[in-house]
């Protein structure tokens, strides 16, 4: 009686301690059930079939596996065959594990189970003894649970108990009604609400980006000459106009020759060519102190001096000016 009271107190405490606002199935859920079984007794001679009401409490270790404590009241079982037609009273406690098929949230979930139980029956006159019969059983069974709502279910199943004392079996068919609560429901925790979008910040106006502008000059000369040809005046004037538009600019005009003739002569010739272009720039309005003329002789060819065409390309004056133009 003390053990029955302890189990009842445990079941009541678990139910009372769990908030029904968190009713759910799955891992972490607790199931409490009342059941009623029809007992088919074969393990004790001269004992008729009886009825076994009881209760169970279970805890889901995973979404599919639960561990269950059970208590059954062995009652209304009678002995016969000359044993006095006695009333039989008893208790059976069990520890079982159930594996549930399907998925959390399914309305129908079949299961299989197995475990161990201990029974105690009073007033038994059978198997060569009288009084209390203490027995240990291995139990197995199968059935199906119908989840009527998220937290209310009905169960139907069959069980078989193997009595270790004498190697005989008892069987029972049962129905039950239970509640389940406290599980995860097989659902992930809801994602946190997104943070509010930051207030738009007015973009600061971008500073104007200065772009680089560039003008290049390439003036060709006849062999052994240092005179700017008329067809090059327009190019020189373009450079002069650019420098007048950007008065902070300066330029170096670089004179060059081909490889015909002595180095010293070509050096002087290249200088005269650079000076000639400078004079045209000054004539077109560029201050002389903004123009530097330099002769490089034959030291910087840009084409092959072995051919006439290459030598014609090398007889030149070059210049390039860059300026920053604000947008």
**What pLDDT sits at residue 45?**
61
In a domain, 24, yes or no: yes
Q: Can you spell out the DSSP letters for 170-232?
A: EEEEEEEEEEEES--TT-PPPPPPPPPPPPP-PPPPPPPPEEEEEEEEEEE--TT-----GGG
DSSP code of residue 79: B
Say yes or no to pLDDT of 83 above 80.
no
Residues 219 and 97 both lie in one domain: no
**What pLDDT sits at residue 28?**
87
Residues linked to residue 205 through DSSP beta bridges, in sequence order? none
Q: Quick one: average pLDDT of 173-180?
A: 91
Instruction: Give the structural domain span for 100.
Output: 2-181
Residue 296 and residue 317 in contact, taking contact as beta carbons nearer than 8 Å? no
**What pLDDT sits at residue 6?**
46
pTM reported for the whole predicted model: 0.49
Residues 11 and 155 both lie in one domain: yes
Residues 6 and 144 both lie in one domain: yes
Strand 65-78, strand 316-326: pairing: unpaired
Q: Looking at the 3D structure of the chain, how many domains does it have?
A: 2
In a domain, 133, yes or no: yes
- For the stretch 11-34, pLDDT in tens is 454 444 344 444 467 888 899 999
Q: Which residue has the higher pLDDT, 55 or 132?
A: 55
Question: What percent of the chain lies above the pLDDT cut of 90?
Answer: 48
Residue 124 and residue 133 in contact, taking contact as beta carbons nearer than 8 Å? yes
- For the stretch 32-59, pLDDT in tens is 999 998 887 766 665 666 778 899 999 9
- For the stretch 278-309, pLDDT in tens is 999 999 999 999 999 999 999 999 999 999 99
- For the stretch 196-208, pLDDT in tens is 888 877 777 666 6
């Amino acid at each position: 009686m003390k053990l029955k009271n302890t189990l009842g107190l445990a079941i009541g405490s678990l139910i009372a301690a769990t908030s029904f606002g968190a009713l759910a199935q799955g891992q972490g859920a607790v199931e409490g059930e009342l059941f009623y079984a029809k007992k088919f007794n074969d393990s004790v001679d001269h004992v008729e079939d009886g009825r076994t009401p009881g209760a169970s409490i279970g805890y889901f270790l995973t979404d599919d596996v639960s561990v269950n404590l059970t208590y059954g009241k062995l009652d209304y079982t009678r002995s016969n065959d000359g044993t006095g037609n006695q009333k039989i009273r008893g208790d059976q406690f069990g520890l079982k594990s159930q594996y549930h098929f399907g998925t959390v949230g399914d309305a129908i979930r079949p299961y299989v189970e197995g475990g161990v139980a201990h029974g105690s029956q009073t007033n038994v006159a059978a198997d060569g003894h009288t009084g209390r019969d203490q027995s240990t059983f291995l139990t197995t069974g199968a059935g199906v649970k119908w989840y009527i709502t998220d937290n209310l279910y009905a169960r139907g199943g069959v069980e078989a108990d193997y009595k270790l004392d004498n190697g005989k079996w008892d069987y029972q068919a049962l129905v039950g009604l239970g509640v389940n609560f406290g599980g995860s429901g097989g659902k992930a925790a809801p994602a946190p609400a997104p943070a509010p979008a930051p207030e738009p910040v007015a973009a600061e106006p971008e500073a104007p980006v200065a772009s680089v502008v560039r003008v290049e000059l390439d003036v060709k000369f006849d062999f052994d000459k240092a005179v700017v040809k008329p067809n090059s005046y327009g190019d020189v004037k373009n450079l002069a106009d650019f420098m007048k538009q950007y008065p902070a600019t300066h330029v170096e005009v670089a004179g060059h020759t081909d490889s015909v003739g002595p180095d010293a002569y070509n050096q002087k010739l290249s200088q005269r060519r650079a000076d000639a272009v400078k004079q045209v720039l000054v004539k077109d309005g560029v201050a002389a102190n903004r123009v530097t003329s330099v002769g490089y002789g034959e030291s910087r060819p840009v084409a092959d001096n072995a051919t006439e065409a290459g030598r014609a390309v090398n007889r030149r004056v070059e210049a390039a000016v860059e300026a920053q133009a604000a947008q």
